Amino acid sequence: MKNIAIAIFVALIIITLSLYLISFQVRETESCLKTTFGKATIEDEITRPGWYFKWPFPIQQIHRFDSRMRTYEVESEETTTAGGDPIIVSTYVVWKIARPLEFFNATKTVKRAQSELLHSRIRNTQNNVIGRHYFSEFVNSDQSKIAFEEIQKETLKTLQQDIEDTKCGIEITALGIKQLKVSEEVSKEVFDRMRAERNRRAEVITSQGMGEAIKIRTDAKSKAEELITAAEARATAIRGIGDAEAAKHYKKLEADPELAMLLRDIGALQKILEKRATFVTPTDVRPFDLLKGLPELKPAKPDEPEK
Amino acid sequence: MKEQKEDNKDVRVPDTAKPTVHELDAAGRSLSEALQVSFIILKVIMIVLVLAFLASGFKAVDSNEQALVLRFGKIRGVGEKRLLGPGLHWILPYPIDEIIKIPVETQVNLPIDSFWYFQTQQEILSGQMRPVRPDQPLKPLQDGYCITRGEKQDEVIGDFAGSDYSIVHSKWQLTYQIDDPERFFINVYIEDVKPGDIYFDVITGSVEPLLRNTFEDAVVTALVNYTIDEAISSQDRIPKHIKRLLQEKLDKIESGIKVVSVQLTNSECPRQVKKAFEASTTASQESETEITNARTYAANTLNEASGPVAEKLYAALHDESIDEQTRELLWPQLAGTAREKIADARTYRTEVVERARANANYLESILPEYRQRPELVLQKIYLDAIEQILGNNADEKFVVQTTKGSKGTQIRVLLNRDPKLKSKRSNEQAEQQNQQTVNR
């Protein structure tokens, strides 16, 4: 019994070990290429995960490729647009190994793929595509004319086509421009323009403000004047009513117009001389004639009227 | 496993040698006993090892993680069952099953400073800004910035149209989270975890270049659609736009990453043009002050003229549809100069009427007497008036003796004029003149 148990145990171990030699796993994150004496065909590509069999080492060999996405960026570079404007862009791509056989034949390692294959191709495509577009398509004060996203898409398509044609097993999944800059010289010009634009705007704002303020002031002034004029008109009307009412009383004066005029004159005289006045008079005016001496006066007879 | 096998061989060698040392009785027996004991120990060890092997299938998943199980390299299960939540799980031991833990709950912050101008380490630490000359250019390889579009102009100026872009500096913070562990695991490149590395740090470190690139792409793409004023006024619209763009890009490559938030932590116009920007801000503030002052002046003027009812009354006077009655209701509410004018007129009215009445009554009252004795009455009235004038009113009186036949005699009176009087009068004159000029 003991021996049987041991035998099973040993057998298990031997099976496990031999399975290691003749089978292999492909993880979700990778793809494999099975070479027979160094040679491989398209059937030897294994891109689906799972458990596969092979001949042991010297006969068949497994090459594993990480099939996950990697990013690769090209350093900033100056290029020119269709209009001849210098522009500095930096492009990145997201790529992965899609076809292990092609990749194995073309480059074998990720590092070489990036530095030898991708670098120059990205640069070329980027410069070509940008050279086909005007700077005003990158940025424009009219939003509808901005084609920045379209340019990126065009670059991606061109690069995808290019990479596919080279049959290096690489697939580009995304591409983007992550820096969009202008040259040193141009940046100075931009600053000058920005400054001028700001100054212009400041002037516009100031003059608009001044204009508005003046308008408010004059509006208020004319309103106030108009109101006062209206009030004055009303006041004149009231005065007129007063005068009319007073005129009714004048009728009574008609009883003796001369006396009325005299009374009026006296009243006026009193009023005129009401304030500080210097009075010079000769002595032959009543009652100052009294100063010359007492007049001869006879008592009037009661029935004789005074002259 | 290998150790186990070697142990087995060690056991078997003495086992086969047993019959050859059969004669050695005591020694042999003790040896066989020792062997039996060691055999039992070996069995125990084997059982323990098998148990340990099976127990190695127990895996703990942290509360912030979710886990995938790979069976022979392929994700096990279907649908919802593919994901293991936090807790203890048992899977088949290596090399059949493999557990992949993905930290899904943890949000990671990624600050992006690559659109900011170049600062030395010292400047960043001290927080001080290096002064720049207004004509100092931005070095494209050193200083970061974005290009924003110009203000849309009504009139298009030939070839120059649309090229009036601006430059803006900005700092951002991206917060992301792994949303779909399966997609993330399959598609996103993660470096191998080396001994000493923290698994979580390895993940964030590996994802960073991808996120950084896509994020910068989204920022550049979005900002060309905004003006510099929109960019520096920290509007919510721009981060939202960028978040949408970034999420689209991440979804397109099936990264399984979710953008939690995009924040614009800082945005500034270039230092070289700061003065001009500040001047324009000052200008708008100044013009606002100017307008406020004018409004105050307007309110004061109207108030002075006719009080709080001014605007209403003014509107009523100019609105044909308002009837006379409503207008009449407004008039009594008047205040200020206008009210004064009307009040003056009222006083005048009363005065003039009363005076006329008084005069008439006076005439009426003296008329019967006058008719009887006109001389006397007239004399009395006349002298009363002279008396009043000379008694109370005249300050100085001169009575000049006249002699008959002395016509042509000159009388010179040196009037000592009151200096106060003169100055007062001239003041009045000056005032009148002033008023005349003002009225003009």
Q: Which of B6, B31, B34 is nearest to B20 (CA)?
A: B31
Classify residue B342: in a domain, yes or no.
yes
Mean pLDDT in residue range A78-93: 89
> Considering only alpha carbons, which residue of chain B is nearest residue A228?
B338
Closest-CA residue of chain B to A307: B375
- Using the Cβ of A300 and the Cβ atoms of chain B, whether some distance falls under 8 Å is answered with no
What pLDDT, on a 0 to 100 scale, did the predictor assign at position A281?
75
Q: Quick check: B126 pLDDT over 90? A: no
Mean pLDDT of chain A: 85
Distances (CA, A) of B206 to A66, A85, B192, B215, B265: 14, 37, 10, 15, 24
Flag whether residue A29 sits within 8 Å of chain B, measured between CB atoms.
Answer: yes
pLDDT tens column, A4-29? 877 888 898 899 888 888 888 888 88
**Chain B touched by A171 (CB under 8 Å):** no
B411 is a domain residue: no
pLDDT at B420: 59
**What is the per-residue pLDDT for B215?**
94
Length of chain A: 307
- Examine residue B115 and state whether it is found in any structural domain, yes or no: yes
Residue B348: inside a domain = yes
Res B131 pLDDT > 80: no
Region B249-257: mean pLDDT is: 91
Does the beta carbon of A218 lie under 8 angstroms from any beta carbon of chain B?
A: no
Q: Are residues B138 and B197 in the same domain?
A: yes
Q: Are residues B114 and B48 in the same domain?
A: no
Report in angstroms the alpha-carbon separations of B316 from A218, A221, A222, B312, B404.
Answer: 20, 18, 16, 6, 74
Which stretch of A108-122, B165-179, B419-433 has the lowest confidence by average pLDDT?
Answer: B419-433
pLDDT band at B84 (very low <50, low <70, confident <90, very high): confident
**What is the percent of chain B where pLDDT is above 70?**
81
DSSP string, B97-137: EEEEEEE-S--EEEEE-TTS----HHHHHHTPPPP--TTPP
pLDDT digits (tens, 9 = 90+) for A192-212: 888 888 888 889 989 999 999
Region of B137 please: left (phi>0), alpha (psi -120 to 50) or beta.
beta
**Domain final residue, candidates B389, B410, B428:** B389
Closest residue in chain A to residue B39, using alpha carbons only: A2
Residue B274's H or E segment, with its range, is: helix B274-306
pLDDT for res B376 = 86
What pLDDT, on a 0 to 100 scale, did the predictor assign at position A307? Answer: 41
Tens digit of each residue's pLDDT (9 = 90 or more) over B152-168: 665 545 444 456 788 99
Q: Examine residue B304 and state whether it is found in any structural domain, yes or no.
A: no
Whole-number pLDDT of residue A159? 92
Q: Identify whether residues B90 and B120 lie together within a single domain.
A: no
Cβ–Cβ of A249/B356 closer than 8 Å? Answer: yes
Nearest C-alpha in B relative to A270: B389
pLDDT exceeds 90 at position A254: no
- Do B325 and B222 lie in a common domain? no
Inter-residue contact A170 to A95 (CB < 8 Å): yes
Encoding tokens for residue B115? 């659109």
A148 touches chain B (CB under 8 A): yes
Residue B300: partners with Cβ closer than 8 Å, 6 or more residues away: none
CATH code (residue B260): 3.30.479.30
Overall residue count recorded for chain B in this entry: 440
A 10 A CB-CB count for B277 gives 20
Interval A177-206 mean pLDDT:
88
* Chain A residue numbers touching B351 (CB-CB < 8 A): 242
Of the given ranges (B2-11, B24-33, B422-431), which has the lowest mean pLDDT? Answer: B2-11
Q: Do residues B81 and B124 share a domain?
A: no
Task: Report domain extents, chain A.
Answer: 2-66, 70-188
- Stated as kind and residue range, the H or E segment containing B89 is strand B87-90
pLDDT the model gives residue B164:
78
Give the mean model confidence (pLDDT) for residues B130-142: 80
Q: Kindly state the average pLDDT of the residues B382-407.
A: 71
User: What is the C-alpha separation between A135 and A173, in angstroms, rounded?
Assistant: 26
Q: Return the number of CB contacts < 8 Å for A and B.
A: 408
Q: A150-154, A268-272, B23-27, B82-86 — which one is most confidently predicted on average?
A: A150-154
Angle at A60 between CA A31 and CA A35, to 5 degrees: 50
Average pLDDT of span B355-372: 85
Tell me whether residues B317 and A224 touch, CB distance under 8 A: no
Say whether B395 and A278 touch across the interface (CB within 8 A): yes
CATH level 2 (architecture), domain A70-188: 2-Layer Sandwich (3.30)
Residue B307 lies in a domain: no
pLDDT band with cut points at 50, 70 and 90 for residue B174: very high
The answer on B226 and B100 residing in a single domain is no
> Are residues B119 and B198 located together in one domain of the fold?
yes
Whether chain B has a CB inside 8 Å of the CB on A132: the answer is: no
Tell me if B234 sits within 8 A of B171, measured CB to CB. no
Closest Cα to residue A61, out of A22, A109, A97? A22
The per-residue pLDDT for B245 is 93
Both tokens of residue B395? 């300050």
Quick check: is B260 in a domain?
yes
- Same structural domain, B195 and B177: yes
* Closest CB to A177 among B95, B220, B345: B220
Q: Where are the alpha helices (DSSP H) in A75-183?
A: 100-106, 110-112, 119-131, 148-166
Q: What is the CA radius of gyration of chain B?
A: 55
Residues B85-95: tens digit of each pLDDT: 888 888 888 77
Residues B335 and B374 in one domain: yes
Residue B210: the pLDDT is: 92
- Residues in Cβ contact with B149 at an 8 Å cutoff, skipping those fewer than 6 apart: A139, A140, A141, A143, A146, B162, B165, B166, B224, B225, B226, B227
Name which of A246, A255, A291 is nearest B367 (Cβ-Cβ): A255
Phi and psi of B85, rounded to 5°?
A: -80, -175
pLDDT band at B5 (very low <50, low <70, confident <90, very high): very low
Higher pLDDT, B104 or B417: B104
Structure-block tokens of residue B254: 């099936």
Of A28, A201, A253, the CB nearest to B70: A28
A-chain CB neighbours of B220 within 8 Å are 148, 177-180
With contacts defined as CB-CB under 8 Å, which chain A residues touch B5?
10, 13
A22's tokens: 């003749």
Least reliable range by pLDDT among A36-50, A280-294, B193-207: A280-294
Does position A306 have pLDDT exceeding 50, yes or no? no
Q: What is the pLDDT of residue B98?
A: 87
- Are both B85 and B143 inside the same structural domain? no
A contact residues 57-96, partner B, Cβ 8 Å cutoff: 66, 68-71, 73, 76, 78, 88, 92, 94, 96
Q: Tell me the per-residue pLDDT of A121-174, one tens digit each, with 9 for 90 and over.
A: 999 999 999 999 988 888 888 888 888 889 999 999 999 999 888 888 899 999
Query: What band does A1 get if pLDDT is binned at 50, 70 and 90?
Result: low
- pLDDT value at residue B10: 46
Contacts with A202 from chain B: Cβ below 8 Å? 276, 279-280, 282-284
- Residue B9: the pLDDT is 45
Q: How confident is the model at residue B218 (pLDDT cuts 50, 70, 90)?
A: very high
> Per the CB < 8 Å rule, is B72 touching A50?
yes
pLDDT of residue A76: 87
Domain housing B15 = 1-55
The residues near B342 (Cβ < 8 Å, ≥ 6 apart) are A231, A234, A235, A238, B331, B334
Q: What percent of chain B has pLDDT over 90?
A: 17
Let me know if residue B409 belongs to a domain: no
Same-domain pairing of B227 and B79 = no
Q: Measured between CB atoms, does A306 come within 8 Å of chain B?
A: yes
pLDDT at B322 over 80: no
List, for residues B329-350, the tens digit of each pLDDT value: 777 777 788 888 888 999 999 9
**Rounded distance between C-alpha atoms, residue B433 and residue A8, angstroms:** 134
B34-43 mean pLDDT: 88
- Split into its structural domains, chain B has a count of 4
Cβ distance of A176 and B228 shorter than 8 Å: no
Q: Which segments within chain A are labelled E, that is strand?
A: 23-26, 30-36, 45-46, 50-53, 60-66, 70-73, 77-80, 86-97, 170-181, 277-282
pLDDT score for B404:
59
pLDDT digits (tens, 9 = 90+) for A276-290: 667 777 777 777 777
- In this structure, the answer to whether residues B213 and B357 fall within a common structural domain is no
The mean pLDDT value for B284-295 works out to 91
User: What pLDDT does residue B339 have?
Assistant: 84
